[in-house]
């Protein structure tokens, strides 16, 4: 027997299961991987493959919540074949990306969930060629929006003689954030990561290819769990992509989600996320004389003043503006889709109110 709480299951999910569902013998399970229409799950009975319950998921298919890696789902267990998935329990945290698809000749943006129900988001950047503060700002915004707790990891410290400027630069854009400088080669900074290694906590990584994610996971696991892709340090084109999606458990009980979608994660930033990352700018903007200040030519503009006296850099202000624009764009689409989805979900619910299990 597997104890699903070792896989992150808790009361938040348990509470969502109705008496009717319990009575029908439905059981919770966690999604370990998704391959086209086959799902690999873990439940109290162990690992098994699963399929979606067709009569639920393939009607109004556009408006259903489909399982993603890390999701907790309700299944009807099948000891001699594939389990059947009835429903996705509400997610505590999730990463989604804009998935522009061409459907019925209409270009629509749909939200694709690439990981769900994680606790920590390890934002990774290597201290050598890949270093870019703006990118870290974007990751932070995305991480805040996901609901997970971001932790910044600067990797490959052994390749860098003096990283104090880079750390200071990040501190200035991520005030109060946990920043760890590490090297899996020398072991530098690795002990400091122990505090995140709580049994049944789920970690997810945000970062570009080749930043040393697999090496970190192997170091944390104390074994060769993920294949380390050898790339030449001076060749940023030598990138390799992982072709599986997975959730797996380390010996110390920590769960890791690593999906290809995480890698391609675009910006689906909401205003909250931006507010957290750019709290200094939002604070300044609130001091502008006019509420609707465009920070261009209005008198009494606190942002212009800060740009002039150098307390705010042009670069940081520019990346704020850029992110705001993207967020606005995504938010409009997201709000539209959400409203639409909710409408059809409610309609579907009423229709299936007397659903048989
Ligand atoms: N110098 C140095 N190299 C490292 C360190 N960690 C990883 N590397 C090297 O960086 C390269 C990429 O490491 P991976 O662990 O495969 O990186 P990844 O982020 O998982 O890469 P993808 O699977 O391509 O996304 C390999 O050549 C590693 O040996 C480190 O701490 N120091
Ligand atoms: Zn202003």
- In this predicted model, which residue has the larger pLDDT, 87 or 129? 87
Q: How confident is the model at residue 230 (pLDDT cuts 50, 70, 90)?
A: very low
Identify whether the C-beta of residue 164 lies closer than 8 Å to the C-beta of residue 189. no
pLDDT at 63: 66
| All structural domains of the chain with their residue ranges | 4-90, 113-263, 271-337
Architecture of domain 4-90: Beta Barrel (2.40)
- In this predicted model, which residue has the larger pLDDT, 112 or 21? 21
Lining ligand 1 with CB less than 6 A are 155-156, 158-159, 183-185, 209-215, 228-231, 239-240, 242
Among 98-102, 195-199, 234-238, 252-256, name the one with the lowest average pLDDT. 234-238
The residue contributing the CA closest to ligand 1 atom 6 is: 212
Q: How confident is the model at residue 268 (pLDDT cuts 50, 70, 90)?
A: very low
Q: Per-residue pLDDT averaged across 8-35, rounded? A: 96
Nearest C-alpha neighbor of 311 from the set 177, 172, 176:
172
The residue contributing the CA closest to ligand 1 atom 9 is: 212
**Choice from 215, 225, 246, 258 to test ligand 1 binding pocket (greatest atom count within 8 A of CB):** 215
- 270 has a pLDDT exceeding 60: no
Quick one: which ligand is closest to 126's CA? 1
CA distances from 51 to 23, 83, 91, 101, 214 (A): 21, 6, 20, 24, 30
Quick one: which ligand is closest to 289's CA? 2
pLDDT at 300: 94
Sorted by sequence, the CB contacts under 8 Å of residue 124 that are 6+ apart come out as: 153, 154, 155, 205, 206, 207, 211, 212, 213, 216
pLDDT at 197: 94
Q: What is the pLDDT of residues 29-75, one digit of tens each?
A: 999 998 878 899 999 999 999 999 988 887 766 667 889 999 999 99
- 235 has a pLDDT exceeding 80: no
Q: What ipTM does this complex have?
A: 0.95
Q: What is the pLDDT of residues 137-195, one digit of tens each?
A: 888 888 888 899 999 999 999 998 899 999 999 998 888 889 999 999 999 999 999 99
Q: Per-residue pLDDT averaged across 285-304, rounded? A: 91
Q: What is the CATH number of domain 271-337?
A: 1.10.40.50
Architecture of domain 113-263: 3-Layer(aba) Sandwich (3.40)
CA distances from 173 to 22, 179, 247, 257, 280 (A): 48, 12, 31, 27, 9
- 338 has a pLDDT exceeding 80: no
Give the CA diameter of the chain.
Answer: 74
pLDDT at 110: 60
- 104 has a pLDDT exceeding 80: no
């Amino acid at each position: 027997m597997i104890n699903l709480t070792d896989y992150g299951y808790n009361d938040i999910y348990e509470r969502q299961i109705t008496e009717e569902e319990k009575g029908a013998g439905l059981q919770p399970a966690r999604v370990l991987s998704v391959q086209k229409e086959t799902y690999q799950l873990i439940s109290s009975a162990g690992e098994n493959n699963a399929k979606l319950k067709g009569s639920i998921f393939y009607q109004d298919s556009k408006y259903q919540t489909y399982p993603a890696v890390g999701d907790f789902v309700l299944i009807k267990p099948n000891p001699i074949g594939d389990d059947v998935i009835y429903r996705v329990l509400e997610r505590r945290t999730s990463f989604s990306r804009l998935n522009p698809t061409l459907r019925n000749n209409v270009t629509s943006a749909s939200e694709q969930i690439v990981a769900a129900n994680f606790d920590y988001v390890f934002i990774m950047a290597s201290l050598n060629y890949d270093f870019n503060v703006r990118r870290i700002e974007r990751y932070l915004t995305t991480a805040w929006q996901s609901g997970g707790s971001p932790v910044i990891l600067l990797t490959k410290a052994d390749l860098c003689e003096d990283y104090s400027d880079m750390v200071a630069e990040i501190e200035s854009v991520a005030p109060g954030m946990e920043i760890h400088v590490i090297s899996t080669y020398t072991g530098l900074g690795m002990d400091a990561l122990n505090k995140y290694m709580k049994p049944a906590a789920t970690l997810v990584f945000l970062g570009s290819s080749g930043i040393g994610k697999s090496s970190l996971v192997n170091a944390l696991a104390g074994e060769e769990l993920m294949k380390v892709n050898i790339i030449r340090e001076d060749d940023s084109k030598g990138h390799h992509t992982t072709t599986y999606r997975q959730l797996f458990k380390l010996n110390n009980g920590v769960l890791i989600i690593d999906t290809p979608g995480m890698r391609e994660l675009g910006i689906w930033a909401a205003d909250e996320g931006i507010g957290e990352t750019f709290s200094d700018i939002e604070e300044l903007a609130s001091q502008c004389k006019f509420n609707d200040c465009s920070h261009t030519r209005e008198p009494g503009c606190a942002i212009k003043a800060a740009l002039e006296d150098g307390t705010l850099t042009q670069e940081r202000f520019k990346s704020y503006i850029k992110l705001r624009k993207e967020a606005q764009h995504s938010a409009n689409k997201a709000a539209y889709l959400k409203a639409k989805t909710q409408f059809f979900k409610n309609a579907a619910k009423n229709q299936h109110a007397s659903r048989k299990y």
